[in-house]
Amino acid sequence: MNLLLSLIHDLTIMKVNVVLFISSIAFVSSLGTTTPNYWVLRNRILQDEEVKSIGGDLPFEGEEFIANERLMFHKKTEISKAFLNPDEFLPARNFLEAFGDIEKSKVFQIIQKLPKGAVLHVHHKAMVHADWIYNATFRDNLYVCENNGKLLLHFFRTPPRSCNWHLLEDLRKNRNVAQSINDRISKAMTMIVENPQEVYSHIDVGWNKFEEIFDFVTPVIGYRPVAEDHFYQGLKESYDDNVLYLEIKTGIPKLYDLDGRQYNDHEVVDIFEKVTQRFKKDHPDFIGAKLIYTKGRMLSDAKVHGYIDKVVELKRDFPDFIAGFDLAGQEDKGKALRSWAERLNKLKTQMNFFFHAGETNWYGTSTDENLIDAVLLNTKRIGHGYAILKHQNVLEYVKRNKIAIELCPISNQVLGLVKDLRNHPGSVLFAEGVPVVVSNDDPGLWGSRALSYDFYEAFMGMMSSNADIRALKQLAINSIIYSSLGKNEIADALKIWRSKWIDFVNDLKNEPN
Ligand SMILES: *[C@@H]1O[C@H](CO)[C@@H](O)[C@H](O)[C@H]1NC(C)=O
Ligand SMILES: [Zn+2]
């Protein structure tokens, strides 16, 4: 089990051999007897570390070796520049002010073209870039009002008297009003600010803003025509970023139309499924999407029990489209998973769970212990698992049982768990070959788009500077094999992915440096 111990044991045997070997040749004196052993040992340790780390045991196939040299040239250049100027290192900077510079990185541009497989942890209301949602505020029948200093938006045919509603289109006819209201609207849709470290001074400030954005955009993207386009756009942003498949976490929003009609959960799931089918028809090489029914963990027990009943119903009616169940929200403020353990335990044989767990820095708290409940409840994957290194039993268990940890680097940084992504615990998971996928959580809220930004942060900031194209390949493969697609679907998906991968490798190989 312990490599170092067994190597040192080997070394004592080797020493004898080496001594024999060396004494049989002429230049004994110039080497000394312990020197070769030391370097042999050192190399073996490095080699062992490489093989264990993500992608480290994959052989180079086809043209991958040459393509890799292109990629690594840029990676090494970028890292060695930052090594001399540490404040330039992008994963060490807050994403909210670094994303523009990330877009200029050659490594990032290569990653954009790389077939990344699947997004397995993204929240429906945050999967689309804020610019798109902002544009949706130019549609007809959108009203605005101000309530306790907060702006509200809602589509109506005729607005109710509940608030002093104004047709947004009318307000925008006045240039000055338009400018100030547009500014307020766009700021209310994103976490992006110029000085994120000061504005989001601690974890709760970030989370409060985060929740406020959801409240603000919910009525905009809940209007049925927008909701359909929004879902389609979410798939499109991923597809355009070379993602083939998604598992989308959603509490199933209450969609509405102009006549005040509200759609129930079944109707909404049906709408999302039809949009997915339409998207697949428009993009035949797209594999698809499934929903993970995900509710807030701040709710009463009765409510959560109701949601558990609901997911059983939804799974029965949409067996291929509903992947399973999860609970989300700021974990430190929510209830512990063990609150519903008995109920969930009974369900675990018939329902896949994808629990957010251990998204915390608070060692030994209930939030931290959620990791233990998650695996006891047979979770298929763990959302974040940020605290997992503190729980060796859980770590061993997920390795042995191939439970993937869904790493969402940018989310953890923006929401205040870690400042410099080199300190992210995912580094150790990459080093140890723990099953992991990289995902994006809520890209639309922080100026990210689809998956490439998180891949970039993981590849540059969290993996070894020696981690190469095989690590990215393994991440893509992981995202497919740890998905909730069926066995045959996984085989088909891997086939589609592989042909894209080969094209990508050939293009990269032929690219001039
Ligand atoms: C928003 O609308 C503007 C103006 O029509 C357009 O140029 C831009 O591409 C749109 N942005 C998105 C993300 O759809
Ligand atoms: Zn999440």
Per-residue model confidence as pLDDT tens digits over 457-467: 999 999 999 99
Helix locations, 189-258, DSSP H: 196-199, 203-221, 224-240
Ligand nearest to C-alpha 449: 1
Ligand 1 centre distance from Cα of residue 69 (Å): 37
Closest ligand 1 atom to Cα of 129 = 13
Instruction: Summarize the confidence of residues 207-214 as an average pLDDT.
Output: 93
Distance from C-alpha of 335 to C-alpha of 333, rounded to nearest angstrom: 7
pTM of the model: 0.93
Tell me what pLDDT residue 218 has: 97
Average pLDDT, the chain: 93
Q: What is the pLDDT of residues 239-286, one digit of tens each?
A: 999 999 999 999 999 999 998 899 999 999 999 999 999 999 999 999
Q: What is the pLDDT of residues 315-362, one digit of tens each?
A: 999 999 999 999 988 777 778 999 999 999 999 999 999 999 999 999
Residue with CA nearest ligand 1 atom 7: 135
Closest ligand 1 atom to Cα of 132 = 13
DSSP 3-state helix, strand, coil percentages of the chain (rounded to 5)?
55, 10, 30
3-state secondary structure 100-140: HHHHHCHHHHHHHHCCCEEEEEEEHHHCCCHHHHHHHCCCC
Closest ligand 1 atom to Cα of 134 = 1
Q: What is the pLDDT of residues 70-115, one digit of tens each?
A: 999 999 999 999 999 999 999 999 999 999 999 999 999 999 999 9
Phi, then psi, of 145 in degrees rounded to 5 = -145, 165
Tell me what pLDDT residue 297 has: 85
Residue with CA nearest ligand 1 atom 12: 132
Tell me what pLDDT residue 4 has: 58
Ligand nearest to C-alpha 125: 2
Ligand 2 centre distance from Cα of residue 294 (Å): 9
Higher pLDDT, 26 or 400: 400
Tell me what pLDDT residue 222 has: 98
Distance from C-alpha of 317 to C-alpha of 378, rounded to nearest angstrom: 23
Tell me what pLDDT residue 333 has: 77
Tell me what pLDDT residue 335 has: 84
Q: What is the pLDDT of residues 11-26, one digit of tens each?
A: 455 444 444 444 444 4
Residue percentage of the chain with pLDDT more than 70:
93
Ligand 1 centre distance from Cα of residue 229 (Å): 14
Ligand 1 centre distance from Cα of residue 148 (Å): 31
Q: What is the pLDDT of residues 357-384, one digit of tens each?
A: 999 999 999 899 999 999 999 999 999 9
Q: Which of 127, 132, 135 to mutate to test the pocket of ligand 1 (most atoms within 8 A of CB)?
A: 135
Which residues, 6+ apart, have CB-to-CB distance to 346 below 8 Å?
none
Lining residues, ligand 1, CB within 6 Å: 129, 131-132, 135
Residue 180 CB-density burial (10 A; 0-12 exposed, 13-18 middle, 19+ buried)? exposed
Q: What is the pLDDT of residues 279-315, one digit of tens each?
A: 999 999 999 999 999 998 888 888 899 999 999 999 9
Residue with CA nearest ligand 1 atom 4: 135
Residue with CA nearest ligand 1 atom 6: 135
Closest ligand 1 atom to Cα of 131 = 13
Residues with CB under 5 A from ligand 2 (ion): 441
Ligand nearest to C-alpha 133: 1
Which pLDDT band, with edges at 50, 70 and 90, does 10 fall under?
Answer: low
Which pLDDT band, with edges at 50, 70 and 90, does 7 fall under?
Answer: low
Q: What is the pLDDT of residues 137-148, one digit of tens each?
A: 999 999 999 999
Ligand 1 centre distance from Cα of residue 138 (Å): 11
Which pLDDT band, with edges at 50, 70 and 90, does 33 fall under?
Answer: low
Distance from C-alpha of 283 to C-alpha of 302, rounded to nearest angstrom: 42
Tell me what pLDDT residue 3 has: 56
Cα-to-chain-centroid distance, residue 128:
14
Residue with CA nearest ligand 1 atom 2: 135
Ligand nearest to C-alpha 119: 2
Ligand 2 centre distance from Cα of residue 304 (Å): 18
> What angle is formed at CA 378 by the lines to CA 300 and CA 344, rounded to 5 degrees?
25
Residue with CA nearest ligand 1 atom 13: 132
Q: Which of 131, 185, 189, 237 to mutate to test the pocket of ligand 1 (most atoms within 8 A of CB)?
A: 131
Which pLDDT band, with edges at 50, 70 and 90, does 190 fall under?
Answer: very high
Tell me what pLDDT residue 5 has: 59
Ligand 2 centre distance from Cα of residue 199 (Å): 22
Residue with CA nearest ligand 1 atom 14: 132
User: Which positions are catalytic?
Assistant: 359, 384
